[in-house]
Amino acid sequence: METILNVQHLSIGKQDNEQTVLLTEKLSFSLEKGKTLALLGRSGSGKTLTALAIAGLLPANLAYLQGGTIHFDGMNLLDAPEYKLQELRAARIAYLFQEPGTAFNPIMSLGQQMDELLRVHTALKKKERQKRCLNALKEVGLSDPKRCYQLYPHQLSGGMKQRALLALILLGNPEILIADEPTSALDPENQAIILKLIQSLQVKMNLSLILITHDIAVARRYSDHIAVLYSGQMIEFSETALFFKGPKHPYSELLLQSQLEMRSGGSRLTTLKDEEHQALSGCYFSKQCQHSTIFCQTHSVPMVALSQDHEVRCFLYTGDLKTKQEKLRSDLMSQSVAAKPSSSLPPLLRIMDLTVSYPIQKGMFRRTVGQVCAVRGVDFTLFPEKTLAIVGHSGSGKSSLAKALFGLAPQKTRSILWNDQSIRMPYLLGKMQLIFQDPAAALDPRMTVEQLLKENNPATFKAEARQRIKQALTKVGLDDTILMRYPHEFSGGQRQRICIARALMSQSKIWVLDEATSALDTLVKAQILNLLKDLQAEFQLSYLFISHDWDAIAFMADEIALMKDGIFIRRGAKADILNQLMPQGL
């Protein structure tokens, strides 16, 4: 098989207090023509840095260390001048970003941006360029290419933006496509559509694909090889079928085990500590590995070839240790999990006949000429210490329902009961907290952690406020040494913990979690889900859990409501709904 990309000993570092901190360490792998390599690993493991290095897009404060190479078409990309990299980008090496909205220029129409790419990389005339653009939009499944060509990025839905970005990439006719979490922010229906579209384009164009994902199911279905990264090192490289027959590194086994535990609906998920500590010598995973010995902690670990298509960085396979571990992965899917008993407590909140309608306005004076009904007469009940999960594809009305509860969308209700007492919607606002999908966007980057938590603090006195802040941080597994730090100084999981601490400060009894874990990798997601369950039990919280992640729903929910076209088309106990609807297997 022809190798199109060969990465050898890639090390990336940054200067910190006059010393170099390694972010990736001597990564080596190859990508075959027309094949897919999936990069797995937790946040901060080096997946995106590696992809950015290949595309020549590393931030200026990072540097390549000596000895590394990235060979493509006979040249070392690390030594290539900037003008050469500009010629390669989009034309031969394309990058599909996680959030397509950030990849577009918001003040240019989609057509203008597509035309710009063709003007730079081809000698086509304007009519020919427009024809190619419209053909590309049609090829990615956009139903009205001429209309989409004239629209601006904000006028497209998430799934349409990702298709439009794929169309933009198609114009360059690239040889390598780097897809960085391309579906993590999409619902299951759009996820499947985008992934199948990428797969069909790959076959048609003979594309080589690097797929960065934290979704083990996606990696299993769409990749040919899997590379697992941990703390900047590659710890396992395998042909996909071999990997899922039995991952060899203890960390890889934990990834798979955590995914299975979510689907089993158990009471606790396997997690790792927040920090990844690079040892001065030895295995970087040794502080978190149940098989660790002094030998592991003090000796550098080589990459061991188990077969032609499977390598692992672990002393368990070098012969230095006499015994090998039993598999961490247990058959969790076969375990029977007892269903929770129904709540004996009275309902905390009942909302009846909730309707959300958006006005259609036209003309210079923006007269209302009609209504678009996003939520149609929905009823639901929340009990203390219970979770109602709402699932549905994009446009089904989930987010409109959540916005209506916080007065962010025009709504009408027949009745709202709080502890069986009739109340009005404004009174409900002070009793609920909203936790968003993207914690980085939910936290003001100009404010310290202390300032962010004080916003939700009803305490009157400064000493009392500081004490409550410390208590909230302790509850979410953080300490008060972070109070003067800013949001950008934390990982994604830590930022979500800060958002949860902020919700705790308000003493609200209902939390609305809008895709609160979809952007997190498997083990960080497990940490957050464990934390949410712990806090729910301690403070008798009620959760409205909006998600498209069936694994998280299986773990968190007591009741599930399936939403389509603004109504609940199916609602019932978790076990009943999952037996009918949950996708089978990984």
For the chain (586 residues), the mean pLDDT of every run of 10, in chain order, is: 90 78 88 94 85 87 80 89 84 83 86 90 90 91 89 84 87 90 75 86 91 87 93 92 89 80 64 54 79 76 87 78 37 35 71 86 78 86 91 82 85 86 82 84 89 75 80 87 88 84 89 83 81 89 89 88 88 83 49
The Cβ of residue 5 has, within 10 Å, a number of other Cβ atoms equal to: 21
- Residue spans per domain, the chain: 3-106+169-244, 107-168, 253-334, 349-581
* pLDDT number for residue 404: 87
Would you state the pLDDT for residue 581? 64
Q: Residue 323 has what pLDDT?
A: 40
Helices 522-539 + 250-264 axis angle, to 10: 40
pLDDT score recorded for residue 331: 37
Give the Cβ contact number of residue 176 at 10 Å.
20
Report the alpha-carbon distance of residue 192 to residue 315 in Å, rounded. 39
- Give the total residue count for the chain: 586
CATH among 1.10.3720.10, 3.40.50.1370, 3.40.50.720, 3.40.50.300 for 349-581: 3.40.50.300
273: exposed, middle or buried (Cβ count in 10 Å: 0-12, 13-18, 19+): exposed
Is this prediction's pTM over 0.85? no
List, in sequence order, the alpha helices (H) in 212-370. Answer: 216-222, 240-245, 250-264, 294-298
| Alpha helix segments (H runs only) across 21-178 | 47-55, 82-88, 110-121, 126-139, 145-150, 158-171
Encoded amino acid at 255, one letter: L
Find, among 137, 132, 99, 98, the residue nearest to 118 by Cα: 132
DSSP label at residue 489: G
CA separation (Å) from 512 to 158, 245, 436, 543?
21, 38, 8, 6
pLDDT of residue 585: 41
The pLDDT value given to residue 328: 31
Say if strands 310-312 and 233-239 run parallel, antiparallel, or are unpaired: antiparallel
Collect all residues with Cβ–Cβ distance below 8 Å to 55 and sequence separation of at least 6. Answer: 89, 93, 95, 178
Sign of CA dihedral 478, 484, 485, 486: positive
Specify the pLDDT at position 322.
37
What is the pLDDT, as a whole number, of residue 222? 92
Distance between CA atoms of 586 and 574, rounded to whole angstroms?
19
pLDDT value for 178: 93
Domain 3-106+169-244, what architecture? 3-Layer(aba) Sandwich (3.40)
Please tell me if the domain spanning 3-106+169-244 has the same topology as the one spanning 349-581. yes
pLDDT for the residue 27: 92
78-85: long-range pairs with CB below 8 Å, 24+: 78/53, 80/56, 82/56, 85/56
